[in-house]
Chain A
Amino acid sequence: MPIVAVENAPEGATVISAVKDATGRVLMNAGSVLTSRHAEALMKYGIHEIEIAVTDGLITDPADDARFAETAKLLDPMFVRNDREWDVMAAIHAAAVRLRMESEEGMEQSSGEGGER
């Protein structure tokens, strides 16, 4: 998941990791949706970076879009019995695709690290 500067984080992004102040007090729970007021408040608390979810429309790197489509194609056969037009199933499918992409990235990174040794 991308860690972005609070000032650049798009409004409406879902916060993935709980945001805490220096004493460990939770300022925003994981899963909260970021608003401009949140962003201002976080900066006042000295929080400058947050981890947000990648969701359609927020991260628009064409390479990511292409990878998403490619991974979705791999997973589509698994979803054949379900109605992908239903928003719940569309959300499950999109999350499954992103989890697969992250898992593949993790495997690529660990095989790269192994190769360097």
Chain B
Amino acid sequence: MNPEGLVQRFKASASPPIIYLRLNEEINHPDTSLARVGRIISEDASLTARLLRLVNSPFYGFPHRIGSIHEAVFLVGSRQVRDLALVTTLMATFGTIPRDLIDTQSFWLHSLACGTASRLIARSMGKQEGERFFLLGVMHDIGRIVMFNTEPIMSESILRRAAAENRSLTELEHEVFGFTHTQVGRVLTEQWKLPVFLNEVVRCHHAPERAVSFPEEAAIVHAADILAHAVQLGASGEPLLPVLHRPSWERLMVPVSSVERLMREIHTETTAMAWLSSEELTGA
């Protein structure tokens, strides 16, 4: 068994985010236009509805209601809308988690908390690309979704052992599968041709010191994951708080006196975003 084999089997049941690739192609085209970006999104009614809900949510806090995708693209920006489109498209992968294995909503809530935490940490560092950091945080554990989906019996066994023995789920993945969710996530993001920054963060979120091209992004999501565990909203199946890498934390310049305030913001904003769950996950 290897990560490539698991991803191959997963790809048979989950669709790659084709709309993202189309949007990316359009945005990188020298003659790109906001209208064309809007048109591509409008072709998918379900995506359009989800994006409009997102841009009208507390995530943005616009003073008036945004009624069309064209207005959303104009106000939010084409690259940002593309990243949000990727988040909402990839959310479908959460729906592939076997329901009797782990609580899908709980797993999603942890991912949402990590996305929110990444966005808030990035904002505290003066970074403007909130959607990009939200995407990174929400998708950091995508490899685990592949493992749950393709090997539910082995996954159930390690989830039980991690809880009963209070052991790291990541270590148990390595012990039982011979590889971890970070390696599986790397293979999936490569094969689906997802952005390279997502690939590196998925691969390095437990070891940000190994990031080569995007060390800051890896450090942000690494810390965000730990804070998301600590606020105790949802669960990824990991009973232990991952080890916080000191040099990566120090890189973020978050003062100790702000830690509690940051965690409270993560808690409040994640709770406010929790509406972005059941319908998207179940496709209802």
Contacts and interface: CB of A to CB of B under 8 A. Distances in A.
Q: Secondary structure of the A side of the interface?
A: helix
Of A87, A88, A93, A100, chain B has the most CB atoms within 10 Å of the CB of: A88
Interface in A19-52: 30-31, 33
B4 to A, nearest CB: 30
B60 to A, nearest CB: 19
Nearest to B243: A81
Nearest to B240: A81
Given A88-B249, A92-B263, A80 B166 contact: yes
Of B230, B258, B264, chain A has the most CB atoms within 10 Å of the CB of: B230
B168 interface: yes
A91 to B, nearest CB: 4
Q: Secondary structure of the B side of the interface?
A: helix
A99 interface: yes
A81 B168 contact: yes
B46 interface: no
B260 interface: yes
Contact of B260 (A82, A86, A91): A91
A18 to B, nearest CB: 11
28 contacts: A14-B260, A16-B264, A31-B261, A33-B257, A53-B261, A55-B260, A77-B166, A77-B239, A78-B240, A78-B241, A81-B240, A81-B243, A82-B241, A82-B243, A87-B256, A88-B249, A89-B244, A91-B259, A91-B260, A92-B241, A92-B244, A92-B263, A93-B230, A94-B260, A95-B264, A96-B230, A99-B267, A100-B232
Interface of B: 166, 168, 226-227, 229-232, 239-244, 246, 249, 256-261, 263-264, 267
